[in-house]
């Protein structure tokens, strides 16, 4: 049985609750004509949830075809995009054939990119199974794969036709993955919804596990906050960039550590600390927030400083990756800082060296 | 010296005239910050016009980098997209780095696709050097590469920041290429601008060569007509599909003949004849138009029937490619027919076999 709430997100809806994977067929039926459907998933998620989705899709008179790809960031390659293309060819996909992405953010990024670029865009449905994907990646239409050493260098904006986040899937998520996703919850809270931050601070136990009492409300709050920001700025020309809070340093740390050694959310946690420090210096954030963020990260079991990361990257490697940031222009980085929690500001002239020093003090 | 007219096309402008390649630098300067610029061209066009564009770009304080790719439809591969990506990496491109496509439709399709998918979209400037690209391909934001046997299977919509069509470049175009492009002029005229068709009928010599007196007006008329249709429907959900007049059969013939053996416009000419015949049967087009189109195609030196093609494809190969058409759903093809010249209608239920019989009578 499905017990869910729905957050409207412009042209599509985000369904959040338990048992929503079983509604995949119904979601398809309301958005596409009967025919083949390509289910893309990975080797971690497939064995757990593919059958459930396949049954639901079949019951709705679609013909499910599954493509199970290797798990992890290494999934996001142009080679795997070609595997999706090849399967679309072999099932005889037309412009109305939907792609269903079942998995974490990597699966959504890859399958969404393939759908975006096949015949100049076919529909896709996103079934995020990680906390990270449910609160962040599945909303906003960003799709991408990695290219050579660069993360998400190749991608486009292509909104899904629907998102259905089944909170039950969080229970099979490794604890470290769950916590990593929680880092994006804190990002959303700090940058956009200070009340959410304070409510988490008051009861970390109520959210810090998949069974936590406050998980449904928290996911809904994050999706709502993200929808508000993305709605007015899909293509990230302005306001949307505030969602990158913590990500300038986060991405550089993640890349420098080698994808996989450090999880995205872990790197973002340390990146948020850097952004908070720079915010105290540059945009007048009250100094207490450095200690409050650090305290909450520690209470949740997330890293605070670079030394807390499983793989501590070299300063030089981080510097090199910062220099390649997509938001860099003329050697200065456009970075999201906070005037206060919930009051983000994009500062376009932060020298890369200053960013680096917030993580690697001289 | 540049002598040009400008057609506004929504967010960008199409400059049409002589000497406009020399304005490339000025166009860039008004749309991007100084820095690297990637010029993508092919081995036919590069030797003729690259220096001219490079000088103009350099004079405007940009740093031009050139990538010269093999010419022809074989240029449009994912492998060549990667070559563009690699060059973007090596010049240290950021989100504001423009790509300039100098060449025919294939160069624009490829470079536009690479720009569309690099960092989720960087700006690109289109400098079309063939009649086909000037009157058709450069307007409307379609980008794509071929995939396996399918033409344009992988692509997205990504409008250029500017288009500058230098009519002087038509003089170095092989005559067969020029005529092939003229087929798209006739398509635009028949589907959207019957006055243009009649004016060409009255004076084929005034347009049928690059030096033709009426070339500038004709290119401007085609761009205006296309802009009108595309403006309201960039993503080809409805109205825009009328631009596919002649292309259902055209694409199938072109693919079945093997790209290169038959030029796009040549295939489209035969495809228009098929569409006109079906229009007489299905949408009440006056029968005289079959003879009028055939007469004009012959006067211009374009093919009329499949036997006129340099490579005559097998019926079975054409049938196979029709079955793969992007506009096919449930075995029936959505096809543009005419109620009258300038009054196109999309008929969604044309059986593939009926389409085939318009070219290969039983």
Based on the residue annotation, tell me whether A184 is a catalytic residue of this protein.
Answer: yes
Report strand pairing: B36-42 vs B63-69.
parallel
Considering only residues A182 and A74, tell me which one the structure prediction assigns the higher pLDDT: A182
Candidates B150, B154, B330; nearest CB to A117: B154
Answer yes or no: are the C-beta atoms of A148 and B89 closer than 8 Å.
yes
Contact list in A for residue B86 (CB cut-off 8 A) is: 148
DSSP SS3 for B195: helix
- Per the prediction, chain A carries an average pLDDT of 93
Q: In this predicted structure, what is the pLDDT of residue A150? A: 83
Residue with tokens 């007469």: B295
Candidates B78, B85, B142; nearest CB to A120: B142
What share of chain B has pLDDT > 90, as a percent? 80
User: ipTM for the complex?
Assistant: 0.90
Helix (H) or strand (E) segment spanning residue A87 = helix A78-90
Considering only residues A121 and B138, tell me which one the structure prediction assigns the higher pLDDT: A121
Question: Of A120, A148, A288, A307, which one is the catalytic site residue?
Answer: A120
At B325, is the pLDDT very low, low, confident or very high (cuts 50, 70, 90)? confident
Segment B126-144, tens digit of pLDDT: 999 999 999 988 888 999 9
Q: Which neighbouring-strand residues pair with B42?
A: B69
Closest chain B CA to residue A325: B94
DSSP structure class, residue A287: T
Interface test with A, best of B117, B320, B321 (most A CBs within 10 A): B117
Answer yes or no: are the C-beta atoms of A173 and A49 closer than 8 Å.
no
Contact list in B for residue A119 (CB cut-off 8 A) is: 153, 155, 326
Q: In this predicted structure, what is the pLDDT of residue B138? A: 86
Residue with tokens 């076999």: B353
Whole-number Å distance between alpha carbons of B130 and B133: 5
At B258, is the pLDDT very low, low, confident or very high (cuts 50, 70, 90)? confident
Q: In this predicted structure, what is the pLDDT of residue A255? A: 87
Q: Does B205 touch chain A (CB under 8 A)?
A: no
The two tokens of residue A111 are 């399958």
- Per the prediction, chain B carries an average pLDDT of 93
Q: In this predicted structure, what is the pLDDT of residue B74? A: 87
Q: In this predicted structure, what is the pLDDT of residue B98? A: 97
What share of chain B has pLDDT > 70, as a percent? 98
Question: Of A226, A241, A277, A327, which one is the catalytic site residue?
Answer: A226
Q: What are the phi and psi torsion angles at B333 (to 5°)?
A: -100, 135
pLDDT at B82 over 80: yes
Contact list in B for residue A240 (CB cut-off 8 A) is: none
DSSP structure class, residue B118: B
Cα–Cα distances in angstroms (integers) from residue A277 to residues A288, A299, A306, A337, A356, in the given order: 10, 19, 14, 9, 12
Whole-number Å distance between alpha carbons of B115 and B100: 9
Answer yes or no: are the C-beta atoms of B337 and B355 closer than 8 Å.
no
Candidates B85, B94, B157; nearest CB to A147: B85
Q: Which of A265-269, B216-220, B357-361 has the lowest mean pLDDT?
A: B357-361
What residues contact residue A73 under an 8 Å CB cut-off, 6+ apart? A106, A146, A151, A259, A260
What residues contact residue A353 under an 8 Å CB cut-off, 6+ apart? none
Q: In this predicted structure, what is the pLDDT of residue A234? A: 67
At B1, is the pLDDT very low, low, confident or very high (cuts 50, 70, 90)? low
Question: Of B52, B187, B251, B306, which one is the catalytic site residue?
Answer: B251
Q: Does B156 touch chain A (CB under 8 A)?
A: yes
Whole-number Å distance between alpha carbons of A356 and A322: 8
What share of chain A has pLDDT > 70, as a percent? 98
Q: In this predicted structure, what is the pLDDT of residue A10? A: 87
Answer yes or no: are the C-beta atoms of A38 and A81 closer than 8 Å.
no
Q: What is the mean pLDDT of residues A22-31?
A: 96
Whole-number Å distance between alpha carbons of B341 and B42: 36
Answer yes or no: are the C-beta atoms of A58 and A34 closer than 8 Å.
no
Segment B159-175, tens digit of pLDDT: 999 999 999 999 999 99
Whole-number Å distance between alpha carbons of B206 and B227: 24
Q: What are the phi and psi torsion angles at A285 (to 5°)?
A: -65, 140
Q: What is the mean pLDDT of residues A273-280?
A: 97
Contact yes or no for A121 and B157 at CB 8 A: yes
**Positive or negative torsion for Cα B286, B290, B291, B294:** positive
Contact yes or no for B330 and A35 at CB 8 A: yes
Whole-number Å distance between alpha carbons of A144 and A142: 7
What residues contact residue A146 under an 8 Å CB cut-off, 6+ apart? A73, A76, A77, A152, A153, A154, A259
In this structure, chain B runs to a length of 362
Q: Does A328 touch chain B (CB under 8 A)?
A: yes
A261 C-beta neighbours (distance < 10 Å), count: 15
Q: In this predicted structure, what is the pLDDT of residue A258? A: 80
Contact list in A for residue B118 (CB cut-off 8 A) is: 153-154
Using a cut of 0.95, tell me whether the model's pTM lies above it. Answer: no
At B222, is the pLDDT very low, low, confident or very high (cuts 50, 70, 90)? very high
Based on the residue annotation, tell me whether B158 is a catalytic residue of this protein.
Answer: no
Q: What is the mean pLDDT of residues B306-330?
A: 88
The two tokens of residue B84 are 């563009």
């Amino acid at each position: 049985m499905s017990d869910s709430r729905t957050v409207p997100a412009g042209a599509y809806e985000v369904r959040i609750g338990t048992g929503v994977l079983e509604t995949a067929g119904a979601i398809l039926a309301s958005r596409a004509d009967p025919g083949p459907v390509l289910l893309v998933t990975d080797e971690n998620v497939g064995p757990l949830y593919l059958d459930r989705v396949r049954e639901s899709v079949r019951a709705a008179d679609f013909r499910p075809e599954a493509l199970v790809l290797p798990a992890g960031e290494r999934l996001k390659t142009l080679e795997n995009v070609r595997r999706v293309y090849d399967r679309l060819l072999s099932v005889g996909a037309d412009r109305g054939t939907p792609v269903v992405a079942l998995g974490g953010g990597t699966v959504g990024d890859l399958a969404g990119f393939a759908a975006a670029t096949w015949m100049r865009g076919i529909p896709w449905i996103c079934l995020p199974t990680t906390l990270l994907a449910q609160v962040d990646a599945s909303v906003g239409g960003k799709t991408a794969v990695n290219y050579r050493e660069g993360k998400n260098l190749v991608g486009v904006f292509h909104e899904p036709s629907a998102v259905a986040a089944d909170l039950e899937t969080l229970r099979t998520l490794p604890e470290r993955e769950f916590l990593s996703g929680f880092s994006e919850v804190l990002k959303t809270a700090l940058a956009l919804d200070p009340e959410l931050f304070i409510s988490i601070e008051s009861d970390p136990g109520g959210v810090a596990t998949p069974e936590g009492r406050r998980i449904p409300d928290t996911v809904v709050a994050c999706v709502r906050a993200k929808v508000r920001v993305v709605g007015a700025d899909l293509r990230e020309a302005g306001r949307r960039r505030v969602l990158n809070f913590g990500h300038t340093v986060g991405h550089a740390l993640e890349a420098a550590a080698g994808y996989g050694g450090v999880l995205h959310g872990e790197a973002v946690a340390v990146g948020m600390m850097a952004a908070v420090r720079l915010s105290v210096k540059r945009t007048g954030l009250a100094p207490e927030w450095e200690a409050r963020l650090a305290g909450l990260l520690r209470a949740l079991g997330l890293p605070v400083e670079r030394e807390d990361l499983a793989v501590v990257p070299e300063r030089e490697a981080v510097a090199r990756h910062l220099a390649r940031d997509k938001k860099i222009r003329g050697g200065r980085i456009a970075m999201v800082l906070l005037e206060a929690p919930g009051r983000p500001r994009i500062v376009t002239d932060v020298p890369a060296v200053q960013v680096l020093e917030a993580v690697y003090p001289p």
